[in-house]
Amino acid sequence: MKNLILFFCVILLIAGCKPVTTPAPDEAKKAKADSNIALVRDLFKATESENIEAVAGFYSDSVWIGGPAFNSWTRKEETIKGLTSWFESADSIKFDVFYIMAETIEQEDLAGDWVLLWADVSFYDLNAQKKIMLIYHAAEKIQDGKIVTEGNYWNEWDVYKQMGAELKWPEKKK
């Protein structure tokens, strides 16, 4: 009888234990990250189609944008003006995204929701009459469904070389 009581006690003890489960990922965070990644992908699709109005719609009115084509951080109007000029001299723009990720930074100056993107970019330059290819990186800070900060990078000198530029050093004075 003791064995039977001990057996039932063990069964009740096991039945009363909660199974160990791994907490489910925060679905709200995942949904926000997916939404932000989709927003950035859509921005680059609009750029490929050279739709300047659509591109402008992805940026907040107070956006700050920095990259090798600028000497300092620029505002939305200046960026759209530069893109319009590029669209007039480029054709067949293609962003082949090879890595994209979303990250939320909780503290310090960079706090917020970010999307980081790396892509191979190609376009046909009408002035140089040749296809130009480059590796492109962008970091987009997103707030309320708009890009509020963008930092981008590409090797500008490599682009100039592909267009035919040459670097000539001045002659040394004797």
pLDDT digits (tens, 9 = 90+) for 30-87: 999 999 999 999 999 999 999 999 999 999 999 999 988 766 788 899 889 989 999 9
E strands present in the chain = 59-66, 90-105, 112-125, 130-143, 146-153
- The topology under which CATH files domain 27-162 is Nuclear Transport Factor 2; Chain: A, (3.10.450)
Dihedral Cα 76, 80, 86, 89, nearest 10 deg = -160
What is the chain's Cα-based Rg?
A: 26
> H-helix or E-strand containing 3?
helix 2-16
Kindly state the average pLDDT of the residues 7-35.
71
Measured CA to CA, the distance from residue 98 to residue 119 in angstroms comes to: 5
Q: What residue ranges do the domains of the chain occupy? A: 27-162
Q: Is the pTM of this model over 0.85?
A: no
The partner residues of 96 in beta bridges, in order of sequence, read 120
Q: How confident is the model at residue 143 (pLDDT cuts 50, 70, 90)?
A: very high
* pLDDT for residue 174: 72
Largest interatomic CA distance in the chain:
112
* pLDDT for residue 18: 63
Sign of dihedral through CA atoms 149, 62, 81, 41?
positive
Which of 131, 137, 122, 121 lies closest to 67, judged by CA? 137
Kindly state the average pLDDT of the residues 156-171.
89
Q: How confident is the model at residue 21 (pLDDT cuts 50, 70, 90)?
A: low
- Give percent of the chain with pLDDT exceeding 90: 63
- Cα 12–Cα 15–Cα 18 angle in degrees, nearest 5: 135
Is pLDDT of 4 > 70?
no
Kindly give the residue spans of alpha helices, DSSP state H, lying in 17-106.
Answer: 27-48, 52-57, 76-89
